[in-house]
Amino acid sequence: MGEGQVVIASNRGPVSFSMSESGRLSARRGGGGLVSGLSAAADEERALWICAALSDADRQAARYAADGRLDTAGYDPGGATVRMLNIPPATLHRAYNSVANSLLWFCHHMLFDIPNKPAFDTASEREWASYREYNAAFADAMAHDAGERARTMVQDYHLTLTPLMLRERRPDLRIAHFSHTPWAPRDYFRLLPDDVARELLLGMLGADHVGFLAQRWADAFMDCCADVLGANVDRTHGTVTNGGRVTRVGVHPLGVDGPALCERGSAADVLARERSLREQVGDRALIVRVDRTELSKNIVRGLAAYRELLVTYPEWRGRVVHVAFAYPSRHDLPEYREYTAEVQRIAARITDEFATADWDPLVLQVYDDYPRSLAAYRLADVLLVNPIRDGMNLVAKEGAVLSRRDAALVLSREAGAAAELGADALTVNPYDVTGTARALHEALSMDRAERAARHARLAEAATAMPPHRWFRDQLDALG
Protein backbone atom coordinates (compact mmCIF):
# COMPACT_ATOMS: atom_id res chain seq x y z
CA MET A 1 0.00 0.00 0.00
CA GLY A 2 3.09 2.22 0.02
CA GLU A 3 4.33 5.25 1.93
CA GLY A 4 1.87 6.82 4.36
CA GLN A 5 0.15 3.51 4.96
CA VAL A 6 -1.51 2.83 8.31
CA VAL A 7 -1.40 -0.72 9.66
CA ILE A 8 -3.70 -1.72 12.54
CA ALA A 9 -3.18 -4.91 14.54
CA SER A 10 -5.73 -6.25 16.98
CA ASN A 11 -6.90 -9.61 18.26
CA ARG A 12 -10.46 -9.08 16.99
CA GLY A 13 -10.95 -7.62 13.52
CA PRO A 14 -13.60 -5.59 11.71
CA VAL A 15 -15.26 -8.69 10.28
CA SER A 16 -16.20 -12.13 11.60
CA PHE A 17 -17.66 -15.16 9.89
CA SER A 18 -20.28 -17.80 10.56
CA MET A 19 -20.96 -21.02 8.69
CA SER A 20 -24.32 -22.47 7.70
CA GLU A 21 -25.15 -26.17 7.91
CA SER A 22 -24.41 -26.40 4.19
CA GLY A 23 -20.91 -25.01 4.75
CA ARG A 24 -21.60 -21.58 3.29
CA LEU A 25 -19.69 -18.72 4.90
CA SER A 26 -21.37 -15.43 5.75
CA ALA A 27 -19.68 -12.30 7.10
CA ARG A 28 -20.77 -9.57 9.46
CA ARG A 29 -19.19 -6.52 11.03
CA GLY A 30 -17.01 -7.45 14.01
CA GLY A 31 -18.30 -6.73 17.51
CA GLY A 32 -16.85 -5.01 20.54
CA GLY A 33 -16.06 -1.45 21.51
CA LEU A 34 -12.48 -1.57 20.26
CA VAL A 35 -13.59 -2.69 16.79
CA SER A 36 -16.35 -0.09 16.66
CA GLY A 37 -13.99 2.73 17.53
CA LEU A 38 -11.24 1.65 15.17
CA SER A 39 -13.67 0.93 12.32
CA ALA A 40 -14.97 4.48 12.41
CA ALA A 41 -11.41 5.79 12.34
CA ALA A 42 -10.18 3.39 9.64
CA ASP A 43 -12.79 4.79 7.27
CA GLU A 44 -10.60 7.89 6.97
CA GLU A 45 -7.26 6.11 6.44
CA ARG A 46 -5.70 3.81 3.88
CA ALA A 47 -5.57 1.13 6.52
CA LEU A 48 -4.49 -2.46 6.47
CA TRP A 49 -6.08 -4.26 9.41
CA ILE A 50 -4.40 -7.45 10.66
CA CYS A 51 -6.43 -9.61 13.04
CA ALA A 52 -6.74 -13.20 14.21
CA ALA A 53 -9.15 -15.86 13.03
CA LEU A 54 -11.12 -16.51 16.24
CA SER A 55 -13.56 -19.22 15.14
CA ASP A 56 -13.67 -22.24 12.83
CA ALA A 57 -15.56 -20.14 10.29
CA ASP A 58 -12.93 -17.39 10.52
CA ARG A 59 -10.19 -19.95 9.94
CA GLN A 60 -12.02 -21.32 6.94
CA ALA A 61 -12.32 -17.82 5.47
CA ALA A 62 -8.62 -17.18 6.10
CA ARG A 63 -7.67 -20.45 4.36
CA TYR A 64 -9.71 -19.47 1.32
CA ALA A 65 -8.02 -16.05 1.12
CA ALA A 66 -4.72 -15.45 -0.61
CA ASP A 67 -2.16 -14.79 2.17
CA GLY A 68 -5.09 -14.34 4.52
CA ARG A 69 -6.29 -11.17 2.75
CA LEU A 70 -10.06 -11.33 2.68
CA ASP A 71 -12.25 -10.67 -0.30
CA THR A 72 -14.35 -7.79 1.05
CA ALA A 73 -17.07 -8.03 -1.59
CA GLY A 74 -20.48 -8.25 0.04
CA TYR A 75 -19.68 -6.74 3.42
CA ASP A 76 -18.24 -3.55 4.87
CA PRO A 77 -14.93 -3.93 6.74
CA GLY A 78 -14.90 -0.28 7.78
CA GLY A 79 -12.79 1.02 4.91
CA ALA A 80 -9.82 -1.24 5.64
CA THR A 81 -8.10 -4.04 3.79
CA VAL A 82 -8.31 -7.02 6.15
CA ARG A 83 -5.72 -9.75 6.66
CA MET A 84 -6.84 -12.54 8.98
CA LEU A 85 -4.13 -14.71 10.55
CA ASN A 86 -4.83 -18.42 10.87
CA ILE A 87 -2.94 -19.04 14.10
CA PRO A 88 -3.04 -22.67 15.36
CA PRO A 89 -6.12 -23.09 17.60
CA ALA A 90 -4.15 -24.48 20.56
CA THR A 91 -1.74 -21.53 20.46
CA LEU A 92 -4.63 -19.08 20.17
CA HIS A 93 -6.48 -20.70 23.09
CA ARG A 94 -3.49 -20.55 25.44
CA ALA A 95 -2.54 -17.01 24.38
CA TYR A 96 -6.08 -15.63 24.46
CA ASN A 97 -7.79 -17.48 27.31
CA SER A 98 -4.92 -18.55 29.58
CA VAL A 99 -2.71 -15.45 29.32
CA ALA A 100 -4.60 -12.45 27.91
CA ASN A 101 -7.95 -13.00 29.58
CA SER A 102 -7.03 -15.04 32.67
CA LEU A 103 -3.73 -13.38 33.57
CA LEU A 104 -3.30 -9.91 32.04
CA TRP A 105 -6.96 -8.86 32.21
CA PHE A 106 -7.16 -10.05 35.82
CA CYS A 107 -3.94 -8.23 36.69
CA HIS A 108 -4.86 -4.86 35.19
CA HIS A 109 -8.40 -5.00 36.62
CA MET A 110 -7.10 -6.27 39.99
CA LEU A 111 -9.40 -9.30 39.95
CA PHE A 112 -7.13 -12.05 41.29
CA ASP A 113 -8.42 -14.25 44.11
CA ILE A 114 -5.16 -13.61 45.93
CA PRO A 115 -5.26 -16.51 48.44
CA ASN A 116 -5.57 -18.94 45.53
CA LYS A 117 -4.57 -17.23 42.27
CA PRO A 118 -2.34 -16.59 40.47
CA ALA A 119 0.01 -19.55 40.87
CA PHE A 120 2.79 -19.94 38.29
CA ASP A 121 4.11 -23.37 37.31
CA THR A 122 5.37 -25.28 34.29
CA ALA A 123 1.93 -25.04 32.65
CA SER A 124 2.16 -21.26 32.98
CA GLU A 125 5.48 -21.32 31.14
CA ARG A 126 3.90 -23.23 28.25
CA GLU A 127 1.03 -20.75 28.14
CA TRP A 128 3.42 -17.81 28.13
CA ALA A 129 5.37 -19.40 25.27
CA SER A 130 2.11 -19.52 23.28
CA TYR A 131 1.43 -15.86 24.08
CA ARG A 132 4.91 -15.02 22.78
CA GLU A 133 4.29 -17.11 19.64
CA TYR A 134 0.94 -15.40 19.11
CA ASN A 135 2.51 -11.94 19.34
CA ALA A 136 5.30 -13.01 16.99
CA ALA A 137 2.73 -14.03 14.36
CA PHE A 138 1.38 -10.49 14.35
CA ALA A 139 4.87 -8.97 14.26
CA ASP A 140 5.78 -11.18 11.29
CA ALA A 141 2.64 -10.23 9.39
CA MET A 142 3.08 -6.52 10.05
CA ALA A 143 6.75 -6.60 9.12
CA HIS A 144 5.91 -8.38 5.87
CA ASP A 145 2.99 -6.18 4.84
CA ALA A 146 3.92 -2.69 6.01
CA GLY A 147 5.23 -0.28 3.40
CA GLU A 148 8.21 2.00 3.91
CA ARG A 149 7.75 4.41 6.81
CA ALA A 150 4.29 3.03 7.51
CA ARG A 151 2.65 3.95 10.80
CA THR A 152 1.63 0.89 12.80
CA MET A 153 -1.04 0.88 15.51
CA VAL A 154 -0.89 -2.16 17.83
CA GLN A 155 -3.94 -2.60 20.04
CA ASP A 156 -4.39 -3.74 23.60
CA TYR A 157 -3.23 -6.32 26.12
CA HIS A 158 -3.42 -9.24 23.70
CA LEU A 159 -0.44 -7.80 21.78
CA THR A 160 1.80 -6.36 24.48
CA LEU A 161 4.96 -8.01 23.13
CA THR A 162 4.38 -7.12 19.49
CA PRO A 163 5.93 -3.60 19.43
CA LEU A 164 9.44 -4.76 20.35
CA MET A 165 9.20 -7.80 18.08
CA LEU A 166 8.15 -5.54 15.22
CA ARG A 167 10.95 -3.07 16.05
CA GLU A 168 13.50 -5.89 15.75
CA ARG A 169 12.09 -6.93 12.37
CA ARG A 170 11.44 -3.46 10.91
CA PRO A 171 13.34 -0.66 12.64
CA ASP A 172 12.20 1.76 9.90
CA LEU A 173 8.56 1.71 11.00
CA ARG A 174 6.80 4.12 13.33
CA ILE A 175 5.11 2.01 16.03
CA ALA A 176 2.34 2.88 18.47
CA HIS A 177 0.66 0.71 21.10
CA PHE A 178 -2.64 1.55 22.74
CA SER A 179 -4.03 -0.01 25.95
CA HIS A 180 -7.83 -0.09 26.18
CA THR A 181 -7.68 -1.44 29.74
CA PRO A 182 -6.49 0.10 32.98
CA TRP A 183 -2.86 -0.48 33.92
CA ALA A 184 -2.15 -2.21 37.23
CA PRO A 185 -0.43 -0.25 40.01
CA ARG A 186 3.16 -1.33 40.46
CA ASP A 187 2.63 -3.38 43.65
CA TYR A 188 -0.13 -5.38 41.96
CA PHE A 189 1.87 -5.67 38.73
CA ARG A 190 4.63 -7.27 40.84
CA LEU A 191 2.36 -10.32 41.31
CA LEU A 192 3.48 -11.39 37.84
CA PRO A 193 6.69 -13.42 37.56
CA ASP A 194 9.70 -11.11 37.30
CA ASP A 195 10.65 -12.26 33.80
CA VAL A 196 7.06 -11.89 32.57
CA ALA A 197 6.74 -8.40 34.04
CA ARG A 198 10.00 -7.33 32.37
CA GLU A 199 9.06 -8.83 29.02
CA LEU A 200 5.69 -7.09 29.04
CA LEU A 201 7.21 -3.68 29.73
CA LEU A 202 10.07 -4.13 27.28
CA GLY A 203 7.56 -5.21 24.64
CA MET A 204 5.56 -2.02 25.15
CA LEU A 205 8.70 0.14 25.12
CA GLY A 206 9.52 -1.17 21.66
CA ALA A 207 6.92 1.37 20.51
CA ASP A 208 7.64 5.01 19.74
CA HIS A 209 4.38 5.99 21.44
CA VAL A 210 2.22 4.18 23.98
CA GLY A 211 -1.27 5.44 24.69
CA PHE A 212 -3.80 5.06 27.49
CA LEU A 213 -7.39 6.14 28.04
CA ALA A 214 -6.74 8.07 31.25
CA GLN A 215 -3.83 9.76 33.00
CA ARG A 216 -3.99 7.42 35.99
CA TRP A 217 -3.35 4.40 33.75
CA ALA A 218 -0.43 6.18 32.04
CA ASP A 219 1.01 7.09 35.44
CA ALA A 220 0.72 3.48 36.63
CA PHE A 221 2.56 2.25 33.51
CA MET A 222 5.38 4.74 34.07
CA ASP A 223 5.57 3.67 37.73
CA CYS A 224 6.03 0.06 36.63
CA CYS A 225 8.73 1.01 34.12
CA ALA A 226 10.69 2.81 36.84
CA ASP A 227 10.15 0.10 39.46
CA VAL A 228 10.67 -3.07 37.39
CA LEU A 229 13.12 -1.90 34.71
CA GLY A 230 14.82 0.98 36.47
CA ALA A 231 13.91 3.11 33.45
CA ASN A 232 14.24 6.89 33.48
CA VAL A 233 10.75 8.41 33.62
CA ASP A 234 10.17 12.06 32.77
CA ARG A 235 6.63 12.82 33.90
CA THR A 236 6.79 16.44 32.78
CA HIS A 237 7.30 15.47 29.15
CA GLY A 238 5.66 12.04 29.35
CA THR A 239 8.63 9.92 28.29
CA VAL A 240 10.24 6.65 29.37
CA THR A 241 13.92 6.12 28.47
CA ASN A 242 15.27 2.59 28.66
CA GLY A 243 18.28 1.05 26.96
CA GLY A 244 18.95 4.22 25.00
CA ARG A 245 15.45 4.37 23.47
CA VAL A 246 12.83 6.98 24.29
CA THR A 247 9.12 6.07 24.26
CA ARG A 248 6.50 8.78 24.56
CA VAL A 249 3.49 8.13 26.80
CA GLY A 250 0.22 9.78 25.79
CA VAL A 251 -3.34 10.00 27.08
CA HIS A 252 -6.11 9.70 24.48
CA PRO A 253 -9.62 9.47 26.02
CA LEU A 254 -12.03 7.84 23.59
CA GLY A 255 -15.48 9.38 23.13
CA VAL A 256 -18.48 8.57 20.98
CA ASP A 257 -19.56 9.78 17.58
CA GLY A 258 -22.63 11.74 18.67
CA PRO A 259 -24.36 12.26 15.29
CA ALA A 260 -23.83 8.64 14.21
CA LEU A 261 -25.04 7.29 17.56
CA CYS A 262 -28.15 9.51 17.54
CA GLU A 263 -28.95 8.43 13.99
CA ARG A 264 -28.66 4.76 14.98
CA GLY A 265 -30.70 5.45 18.12
CA SER A 266 -33.56 6.80 15.99
CA ALA A 267 -33.79 3.75 13.73
CA ALA A 268 -37.03 1.81 13.47
CA ASP A 269 -35.78 -1.27 15.34
CA VAL A 270 -34.71 0.89 18.30
CA LEU A 271 -38.00 2.78 18.40
CA ALA A 272 -39.96 -0.48 18.31
CA ARG A 273 -38.02 -1.80 21.31
CA GLU A 274 -38.47 1.53 23.09
CA ARG A 275 -42.25 1.25 22.76
CA SER A 276 -42.19 -2.34 23.95
CA LEU A 277 -40.04 -1.51 26.98
CA ARG A 278 -42.22 1.44 27.95
CA GLU A 279 -45.33 -0.74 27.74
CA GLN A 280 -43.59 -3.28 29.98
CA VAL A 281 -42.59 -0.85 32.75
CA GLY A 282 -45.37 1.75 32.49
CA ASP A 283 -44.70 5.35 33.47
CA ARG A 284 -42.26 4.45 36.26
CA ALA A 285 -38.76 5.90 36.55
CA LEU A 286 -36.03 3.70 35.03
CA ILE A 287 -32.59 2.91 36.40
CA VAL A 288 -30.69 1.44 33.44
CA ARG A 289 -27.46 -0.49 33.14
CA VAL A 290 -25.99 -2.12 30.01
CA ASP A 291 -22.97 -4.38 30.48
CA ARG A 292 -21.28 -7.60 29.63
CA THR A 293 -21.46 -10.17 32.44
CA GLU A 294 -17.79 -9.46 33.01
CA LEU A 295 -16.24 -9.67 36.47
CA SER A 296 -14.95 -6.09 36.44
CA LYS A 297 -18.39 -4.62 35.59
CA ASN A 298 -19.61 -5.18 39.17
CA ILE A 299 -23.17 -6.14 38.27
CA VAL A 300 -23.75 -8.13 41.47
CA ARG A 301 -22.96 -5.18 43.74
CA GLY A 302 -25.06 -2.93 41.50
CA LEU A 303 -28.05 -5.22 41.99
CA ALA A 304 -27.35 -5.36 45.72
CA ALA A 305 -27.37 -1.55 45.78
CA TYR A 306 -30.74 -1.50 44.02
CA ARG A 307 -32.13 -3.91 46.60
CA GLU A 308 -30.81 -1.66 49.38
CA LEU A 309 -32.45 1.33 47.69
CA LEU A 310 -35.81 -0.43 47.94
CA VAL A 311 -35.16 -1.38 51.58
CA THR A 312 -33.80 1.97 52.77
CA TYR A 313 -36.01 4.25 50.69
CA PRO A 314 -39.33 2.36 50.51
CA GLU A 315 -41.03 5.34 48.85
CA TRP A 316 -39.53 4.11 45.56
CA ARG A 317 -41.33 0.76 45.68
CA GLY A 318 -43.77 0.61 42.81
CA ARG A 319 -42.35 3.84 41.34
CA VAL A 320 -39.07 2.64 39.85
CA VAL A 321 -37.86 -0.28 37.73
CA HIS A 322 -34.27 -1.37 37.32
CA VAL A 323 -33.58 -2.41 33.72
CA ALA A 324 -30.38 -4.47 33.64
CA PHE A 325 -29.26 -5.66 30.23
CA ALA A 326 -26.23 -7.93 30.62
CA TYR A 327 -24.99 -10.09 27.81
CA PRO A 328 -22.78 -13.16 28.35
CA SER A 329 -19.03 -12.76 28.11
CA ARG A 330 -16.14 -15.26 28.03
CA HIS A 331 -18.24 -18.24 28.98
CA ASP A 332 -15.35 -20.55 28.17
CA LEU A 333 -13.86 -19.40 31.50
CA PRO A 334 -15.48 -20.95 34.62
CA GLU A 335 -15.27 -17.73 36.66
CA TYR A 336 -17.47 -15.98 34.11
CA ARG A 337 -20.08 -18.74 33.98
CA GLU A 338 -20.40 -18.65 37.76
CA TYR A 339 -20.59 -14.85 37.80
CA THR A 340 -23.44 -14.86 35.29
CA ALA A 341 -25.25 -17.42 37.43
CA GLU A 342 -24.80 -15.21 40.53
CA VAL A 343 -26.22 -12.22 38.65
CA GLN A 344 -29.30 -14.28 37.87
CA ARG A 345 -29.60 -15.54 41.46
CA ILE A 346 -29.55 -12.10 43.07
CA ALA A 347 -32.00 -10.81 40.45
CA ALA A 348 -34.39 -13.61 41.32
CA ARG A 349 -34.11 -12.78 45.03
CA ILE A 350 -34.99 -9.12 44.39
CA THR A 351 -38.03 -10.12 42.36
CA ASP A 352 -39.16 -12.64 44.97
CA GLU A 353 -38.78 -10.12 47.79
CA PHE A 354 -40.40 -7.04 46.28
CA ALA A 355 -42.56 -7.86 43.26
CA THR A 356 -46.31 -7.24 43.50
CA ALA A 357 -49.24 -8.10 41.30
CA ASP A 358 -48.83 -4.88 39.32
CA TRP A 359 -45.12 -4.10 39.73
CA ASP A 360 -42.02 -6.01 38.67
CA PRO A 361 -39.07 -4.18 40.23
CA LEU A 362 -36.44 -5.63 37.91
CA VAL A 363 -36.08 -6.43 34.22
CA LEU A 364 -32.96 -8.56 33.73
CA GLN A 365 -32.09 -9.92 30.30
CA VAL A 366 -28.89 -11.89 29.77
CA TYR A 367 -28.47 -11.84 26.01
CA ASP A 368 -27.15 -9.34 23.52
CA ASP A 369 -29.56 -7.02 21.70
CA TYR A 370 -27.91 -3.77 20.65
CA PRO A 371 -31.10 -1.97 19.50
CA ARG A 372 -32.74 -2.87 22.81
CA SER A 373 -29.78 -1.37 24.69
CA LEU A 374 -30.07 1.87 22.71
CA ALA A 375 -33.78 1.97 23.50
CA ALA A 376 -33.02 1.62 27.22
CA TYR A 377 -30.58 4.53 27.04
CA ARG A 378 -33.29 6.70 25.49
CA LEU A 379 -35.70 5.93 28.33
CA ALA A 380 -33.25 6.10 31.25
CA ASP A 381 -33.88 8.43 34.17
CA VAL A 382 -30.73 7.14 35.88
CA LEU A 383 -27.78 5.38 34.31
CA LEU A 384 -25.83 3.08 36.65
CA VAL A 385 -22.17 2.47 35.67
CA ASN A 386 -20.26 1.04 38.66
CA PRO A 387 -17.27 -1.02 37.43
CA ILE A 388 -14.58 -2.19 39.82
CA ARG A 389 -12.06 -0.86 37.27
CA ASP A 390 -12.53 0.13 33.65
CA GLY A 391 -10.17 1.57 31.08
CA MET A 392 -12.82 4.05 29.95
CA ASN A 393 -16.43 2.76 29.80
CA LEU A 394 -18.32 3.95 26.74
CA VAL A 395 -21.71 2.98 28.22
CA ALA A 396 -21.47 6.06 30.44
CA LYS A 397 -20.89 8.19 27.36
CA GLU A 398 -23.42 6.51 25.05
CA GLY A 399 -26.14 6.79 27.69
CA ALA A 400 -25.38 10.45 28.25
CA VAL A 401 -25.76 11.15 24.54
CA LEU A 402 -28.93 9.15 23.89
CA SER A 403 -31.06 9.78 26.98
CA ARG A 404 -34.19 11.78 26.14
CA ARG A 405 -34.99 12.20 29.85
CA ASP A 406 -31.79 13.98 30.96
CA ALA A 407 -30.56 10.88 32.74
CA ALA A 408 -28.52 11.34 35.89
CA LEU A 409 -25.29 9.32 35.86
CA VAL A 410 -24.18 7.24 38.86
CA LEU A 411 -20.56 6.49 38.00
CA SER A 412 -17.78 4.50 39.64
CA ARG A 413 -14.74 6.59 40.47
CA GLU A 414 -12.66 3.64 39.21
CA ALA A 415 -13.81 4.03 35.60
CA GLY A 416 -11.52 5.94 33.28
CA ALA A 417 -14.56 7.96 32.23
CA ALA A 418 -14.67 9.51 35.71
CA ALA A 419 -11.78 11.79 34.71
CA GLU A 420 -14.04 13.46 32.12
CA LEU A 421 -17.54 12.91 33.48
CA GLY A 422 -17.03 12.82 37.25
CA ALA A 423 -17.80 16.50 37.87
CA ASP A 424 -21.36 16.11 36.58
CA ALA A 425 -21.97 12.52 37.66
CA LEU A 426 -22.71 11.14 41.13
CA THR A 427 -19.45 9.28 41.71
CA VAL A 428 -19.36 6.21 43.94
CA ASN A 429 -16.90 3.78 45.46
CA PRO A 430 -17.80 0.60 43.52
CA TYR A 431 -17.36 -1.57 46.63
CA ASP A 432 -19.72 0.57 48.73
CA VAL A 433 -23.19 -0.90 48.25
CA THR A 434 -24.82 1.48 50.73
CA GLY A 435 -23.14 4.48 49.14
CA THR A 436 -24.31 3.37 45.70
CA ALA A 437 -27.88 2.96 46.96
CA ARG A 438 -27.71 6.47 48.42
CA ALA A 439 -26.45 7.82 45.08
CA LEU A 440 -29.32 6.10 43.24
CA HIS A 441 -31.79 7.78 45.61
CA GLU A 442 -30.12 11.15 45.06
CA ALA A 443 -30.20 10.66 41.29
CA LEU A 444 -33.90 9.74 41.31
CA SER A 445 -34.68 12.72 43.57
CA MET A 446 -32.58 15.29 41.71
CA ASP A 447 -34.22 18.55 40.69
CA ARG A 448 -35.18 18.44 37.02
CA ALA A 449 -33.33 21.65 36.15
CA GLU A 450 -30.13 20.44 37.79
CA ARG A 451 -30.44 17.10 36.03
CA ALA A 452 -30.85 18.81 32.66
CA ALA A 453 -27.83 21.06 33.22
CA ARG A 454 -25.65 18.14 34.29
CA HIS A 455 -26.85 16.02 31.40
CA ALA A 456 -26.00 18.70 28.83
CA ARG A 457 -22.44 18.90 30.15
CA LEU A 458 -22.14 15.10 30.24
CA ALA A 459 -23.24 14.82 26.60
CA GLU A 460 -20.76 17.52 25.58
CA ALA A 461 -17.87 15.77 27.35
CA ALA A 462 -18.89 12.37 25.95
CA THR A 463 -18.58 13.58 22.35
CA ALA A 464 -15.44 15.70 22.78
CA MET A 465 -13.13 13.04 21.32
CA PRO A 466 -15.02 10.95 18.71
CA PRO A 467 -13.23 7.88 17.32
CA HIS A 468 -11.82 9.53 14.20
CA ARG A 469 -10.23 12.32 16.25
CA TRP A 470 -9.00 9.86 18.87
CA PHE A 471 -7.29 7.80 16.16
CA ARG A 472 -5.92 10.88 14.37
CA ASP A 473 -4.36 12.18 17.60
CA GLN A 474 -2.42 8.95 17.96
CA LEU A 475 -1.24 9.09 14.35
CA ASP A 476 -0.13 12.68 14.87
CA ALA A 477 1.77 11.61 18.00
CA LEU A 478 3.81 9.27 15.79
CA GLY A 479 4.94 12.25 13.67
For 299-350, how does the pLDDT look when each residue is reduced to its tens digit (9 = 90+)?
999 999 999 999 999 999 999 999 999 987 776 778 888 999 999 999 999 9
Q: Judge whether residue 137 has pLDDT over 90.
A: yes
Q: What is the pLDDT of residue 33?
A: 57
Angstrom distance (rounded) from CA 286 to CA 340: 22
With vertex at residue 255, the alpha carbon angle to CA 40 and CA 207, rounded to the nearest 5 degrees, is 75
Phi, psi of 38 (to 5 degrees): -70, -35
Q: What is the pLDDT of residue 64?
A: 81
Range of the domain at 266: 258-462
Write the DSSP assignment of 8-33 as a string of letters: EE-SS-SEEEEE-TT--EEEEEPPSH
Question: Are 64 and 151 within one domain?
Answer: yes
Instruction: Report the number of distinct structural domains present in the chain.
Output: 2
Phi/psi-derived region of residue 269, left when phi > 0, alpha when psi is between -120 and 50, beta in every other case:
alpha
Question: Are 239 and 293 within one domain?
Answer: no
Return the amino acid letter for 200: L
Residue 50 lies in a domain: yes
Write the DSSP assignment of 26-52 as a string of letters: EEEEPPSHHHHHHHHHHTTS-EEEEEE
Residue 293 lies in a domain: yes
Angstrom distance (rounded) from CA 190 to CA 452: 45
Question: Are 48 and 197 within one domain?
Answer: yes
Q: What is the pLDDT of residue 201?
A: 98
pLDDT averaged over the chain? Answer: 92
pTM of the predicted structure, to 2 decimals: 0.94
Question: Are 321 and 413 within one domain?
Answer: yes
Residue 276 lies in a domain: yes
Question: Are 302 and 383 within one domain?
Answer: yes
Q: Judge whether residue 78 has pLDDT over 60.
A: no
Question: Are 213 and 285 within one domain?
Answer: no
Question: Are 20 and 124 within one domain?
Answer: yes
Question: Are 354 and 237 within one domain?
Answer: no
CA proximity to 349, closest of 336, 358, 362: 362
Angstrom distance (rounded) from CA 301 to CA 318: 22
Q: Which of 165-174, 241-250, 322-331, 452-461 has the lowest mean pLDDT?
A: 322-331
Question: Are 130 and 249 within one domain?
Answer: yes
Q: Between residues 5 and 317, which one has the greater pLDDT?
A: 317
Residue 227 lies in a domain: yes
Query: How many percent of the chain have pLDDT more than 90?
Result: 79
Angstrom distance (rounded) from CA 165 to CA 143: 9
Residue 1 lies in a domain: no
Residue 34 lies in a domain: yes
Question: Are 10 and 108 within one domain?
Answer: yes
- 3-state DSSP call for residue 357? coil
Q: What is the CATH number of the domain that holds 117?
A: 3.40.50.2000
45 falls in which pLDDT band (50, 70, 90)? low
Question: Are 285 and 247 within one domain?
Answer: no
Angle of the 122-145 helix axis to the 194-204 helix axis, nearest 10? 10
Q: Which of 47-56, 395-404, 446-455 has the lowest mean pLDDT?
A: 47-56
CB 240 within 8 A of CB 201: no
Residue 300 lies in a domain: yes
Q: What is the pLDDT of residue 329?
A: 76
CB 30 within 8 A of CB 49: no
Question: Are 222 and 299 within one domain?
Answer: no
Residue 316 lies in a domain: yes
Q: What is the pLDDT of residues 106-135, one digit of tens each?
A: 999 999 999 999 999 999 999 999 999 999
Q: Judge whether residue 80 has pLDDT over 90.
A: no
Angstrom distance (rounded) from CA 290 to CA 266: 18
- 3-state DSSP call for residue 458? helix
Q: What is the pLDDT of residue 79?
A: 62
